[in-house]
Structure 1
């Protein structure tokens, strides 16, 4: 999938990103888009699967909750796979595997079948997720300015488009297997095309060249060169390390972390547990909520999820500018308040329109949290390259693992409308842990392009 073995030098960014780097940005954006679209096209059709298999809310929630165990387990091996394949090849290969698993989800005939295929899909998604974020950070270093929120904006665009596709297919009565086969062929082919435009070279190229630049700039930066270069290629590469990690910060070993560092990574993970639980509520339960509470058709039922992802997409495409102005911490706190107020309004004043507004505000509120937490983990001192983002990404999947069965059990006990009051509580959790995120940032990568 690589077209060259020589990566462009970060120093060339002072004259603006090269054509190769710009192509790589679009390629990474395409993988993010496909990753969101392939899975989220399934979500509006969950009610049909539930009805066809004959599942209760609890049984369905348990199946969806078990799925992320595959991601939790696979995420532990993502770094090793990327050392062997590179982040580009890993992202593309496992996106194709994920689309294959999605076809099996569409054709599920039993609870066990559904659960097993969701396990496989989430395992492939975990490796794709870590790998595409890792490669996206490589490209961001070439740009020398923040572009990570825009990647996640493309994921939200794909999720919204997938939601619309699934809702339209449901309304038109398109068989589930046909929709799944279409996704495998089209999304798989586009992922392979994206792989041809990814950055060449080793995933540590940018860090090594940045360290060399700092070493050449003067004695004060010389400590950057003291990090043994032999350590870098063998490091976990699920995400490039922040520049601080290459500037003489104490390195304790690939997975050995100081207690304070581990606590900060755990707090970042909790931010994403609550953000992921909010996102899961829109993905797993919004269509069922619309169908059971308002008795709307398949297309309208799918619009609650589309509202969440559409607002999240806007928040992410505009998020880089907002974060540069307010900082990750303040942006997260404002978003958490919006999310809580929006869902409280939707649940206190139940109507299809207020539900869409509530889910939209929830999506907008959590828009920047995944890029913010990945950035904070990536920049953490004393952490080997890739370890921070792998740990935080792994912890984030706990939200997708724990939330669905809890919501499902509550829905059977008190109805789904009241079970979704957990969403304002998720926002309170984000507020509680938001202090670990960064304030207003100066440029981490050097002069702006």
Structure 2
């Protein structure tokens, strides 16, 4: 018989995977939904921006929700509702209802993310060793699975509403099963993260470090978001690929990011967050620059994969460094970094959409190597090798 901590680890890992798979099912169907609703690039970008807006709004409430009802209840419930909401997105007959569905999805994803991380930390304390990174890697595994599901459904020309409804049934059953193995009780006994020395000069130096760390994390997440939102549209509409191949850009991103996250702990331990970030940013910068200069399906998909491999450790590294800064209350660095991430996610879809309408989507995607360059320049804010 499995011990409670083992059951809880399996359960929360499953929720991470399901959370990744739910939204990833939508991404390869974006071109179909965009075409069915006859949306311009700008209209599509605004609609997709509803997702991070929902996440930004709900993220401010997540802590109170978890304290009131516990992560053991909220985690499975949020994944269940997120799965149900897929049907609304697939069935949306007009632009504004599509945007509402994405807003709800963003809100539920944010709540699920907070709950699953809170529960993962509880389980991690029971084990007495770091296991949260592997849970985040399983989110990426779920995203790859969801991306494959979406690409296959798009290739088979299954209507999005039926595709999403079928996926929702599977996800709901698994979420309910996972809920049975979660740890009971409150999440309030979280241990604080001790501060460790980090060089900065007074309040101004501390503020500059926080801004830099927030921008590194936001740029990394924007790279992922731009690929998630626009890769299928770019490959199909700009490069003329089929529906199945169009889904491979997202799959390449998430597949490479998964490998990067599984390998991330050992790489960061050996070389430090700063060095790993610089190599990762360089991969994204070179890959996307080559892909935009020589736009083919192969160079583009490979570039999206290099971006995924490069950004895998950036957000944990930024959070780890921000939380270790002296003079900050526990959780302050984490709150700042995650808030900056949400703001970036809110701004990137309409920005790309409007530039694509004015010029072209290829021109709009120049944002990606620019973001990689930002990470490369600001990576000095991250921690050095500590072991």
TM-score, length-normalised on structure 1?
A: 0.80
Contact 1:150 1:320 (C-alpha < 8 Å) held by counterparts:
no
How far apart are the structure 2 equivalents of 1:62 and 1:430? 26
Q: Larger deviation: 178-187 or 276-285? A: 178-187
Deviations 1:170-191 (A, max 9, x none): 1112121111112222112212
Is 1:164 the counterpart of 2:115? The answer is: no
Contact 1:149 1:368 (C-alpha < 8 Å) held by counterparts:
no
Is 1:283 the counterpart of 2:228? The answer is: yes
CA displacement at 1:138 relative to structure 2:
2.7
Is 1:242 the counterpart of 2:187? The answer is: no
In the other structure, the counterpart of 2:252 is: 307
CA displacement at 1:85 relative to structure 2:
1.5
In the other structure, the counterpart of 2:268 is: 323
In the other structure, the counterpart of 2:186 is: 202
Q: Cα distance 1:51–1:79, how it changes in 2: closer, same or farther (>3 A)?
A: same
How far apart are the structure 1 equivalents of 2:127 and 2:70? 20
How far apart are the structure 1 equivalents of 2:128 and 2:325? 18
In the other structure, the counterpart of 1:338 is: 283
Is 1:424 the counterpart of 2:369? The answer is: yes
Is 1:154 the counterpart of 2:99? The answer is: no
In the other structure, the counterpart of 2:317 is: 372
Q: Cα distance 1:386–1:195, how it changes in 2: closer, same or farther (>3 A)?
A: farther
In the other structure, the counterpart of 1:439 is: 384
Q: Larger deviation: 47-56 or 142-151? A: 142-151
How far apart are the structure 1 equivalents of 2:323 and 2:179? 24
In the other structure, the counterpart of 1:112 is: 96
Contact 1:142 1:206 (C-alpha < 8 Å) held by counterparts:
no
| Within-5 A mapping of 1:47-196 | 47-196=31-180
How far apart are the structure 2 equivalents of 1:294 and 1:338? 22
Q: Cα distance 1:286–1:270, how it changes in 2: closer, same or farther (>3 A)?
A: same
Q: Cα distance 1:259–1:194, how it changes in 2: closer, same or farther (>3 A)?
A: farther
In the other structure, the counterpart of 1:13 is: none
In the other structure, the counterpart of 1:298 is: 243
How far apart are the structure 2 equivalents of 1:329 and 1:56? 40
- Identify the match of residue 269 of structure 1 among 196, 205, 214: 214
Contact 2:28 2:246 (C-alpha < 8 Å) held by counterparts:
yes
- Identify the match of residue 348 of structure 1 among 273, 285, 293: 293
CA displacement at 1:377 relative to structure 2:
4.0
Is 1:398 the counterpart of 2:343? The answer is: yes
How far apart are the structure 1 equivalents of 2:112 and 2:322? 18
How far apart are the structure 2 equivalents of 1:151 and 1:374? 16
- Identify the match of residue 414 of structure 1 among 343, 359, 365: 359
How far apart are the structure 2 equivalents of 1:305 and 1:263? 33
- Identify the match of residue 21 of structure 2 among 6, 29, 37: 37
CA displacement at 1:260 relative to structure 2:
6.5
CA displacement at 1:144 relative to structure 2:
3.4
How far apart are the structure 2 equivalents of 1:260 and 1:203? 34
Q: Larger deviation: 20-29 or 282-291? A: 20-29
Listed as ranges, the gaps of 5+ residues in structure 2 are 197-202
In the other structure, the counterpart of 1:9 is: none
CA displacement at 1:206 relative to structure 2:
5.0
TM-score, length-normalised on structure 2?
A: 0.92
Q: Larger deviation: 130-139 or 196-205? A: 196-205
Question: How many positions carry a matched residue from both structures?
Answer: 380
- Please say which structure displays the higher CA radius of gyration: 1
Listed as ranges, the gaps of 5+ residues in structure 1 are 1-17, 208-240, 246-257, 443-449
Q: Cα RMSD (Å) of the superposition? A: 2.1
CA displacement at 1:28 relative to structure 2:
2.0
Q: Larger deviation: 124-133 or 134-143? A: 134-143
In the other structure, the counterpart of 1:234 is: none
In the other structure, the counterpart of 2:200 is: none
Q: Cα distance 1:162–1:428, how it changes in 2: closer, same or farther (>3 A)?
A: same
Report the 3-state secondary structure (helix = DSSP H, G, I; strand = E; otherwise coil) of the residue aligned with 2:384. coil
